[in-house]
Amino acid sequence: MPHEVRIRRWLARSRLSLEDIDEVMQEAYCRIAMLPSVDHIDQPLAYMFATARNLLLRRLKRQHVVVLEALSDIETWQDEATPSPEEQAASRISYERVLAIIGRLPERCRKIVELRKIEGWSQKEIAAHLGITEKAVEKQVWTGVRAIRDAWTQAETQSEYRMLGGERKEAQS
């Protein structure tokens, strides 16, 4: 139900009448209600959109006159808010790389960067917790972020260099 307004707006863009939108929504709710369990649904919005999209496709395919543009829009719909599996994997890998870089920072700098950037503490909270000035916290965060950025750039440069070096070796063979 929290996603109903968004799905109804999307269905309205598919040139359905209000009655047809009501029918698609009702059938989508019925299908979800008939599931033995909803534990497998990680992303309710995407699941509800997919259910409504499939019902709408069936409805359009049954009609005698189908607006091809509407059918194309529906079949190629993708929820922009939901990252693809590839994007999720890339994000996890990037997150792990950043954590590894943070782990190599000097102890005090690492602790301050973790509290500020990962835990979301304010500079004031960190300063009070560690018994240092806010200016010292700001300097450590700045130093840590710069070190992370430099390490990230260096790792990407090395990766590109290895990739280019590998291509050269293959060309020489």
Tell me the average pLDDT across 106-122. 90
| Domains detected in the chain | 4-75 (no CATH), 85-172 (1.10.10.10)
Distance in angstroms (rounded) separating the CA atoms of residues 52 and 113: 44
Helices (H) and strands (E) counted in the chain, each on its own, are 8, 0
Cβ atoms of 27 and 58 closer than 8 Å: no
pTM: 0.47
Dump pLDDT digits (tens) for 11-24. 777 777 788 888 88
Looking at residue 45, its pLDDT comes to: 77
Distance in angstroms (rounded) separating the CA atoms of residues 105 and 122: 20
DSSP structure class, residue 117: I
Average pLDDT of the residues of the chain: 78
Dump pLDDT digits (tens) for 42-58. 777 788 888 888 887 77
pLDDT exceeds 70 at position 73: no
Concatenated DSSP letters of 56-75: HHHHHHHSSS--HHHHHHHH
Distance in angstroms (rounded) separating the CA atoms of residues 55 and 31: 10
Distance in angstroms (rounded) separating the CA atoms of residues 143 and 60: 58
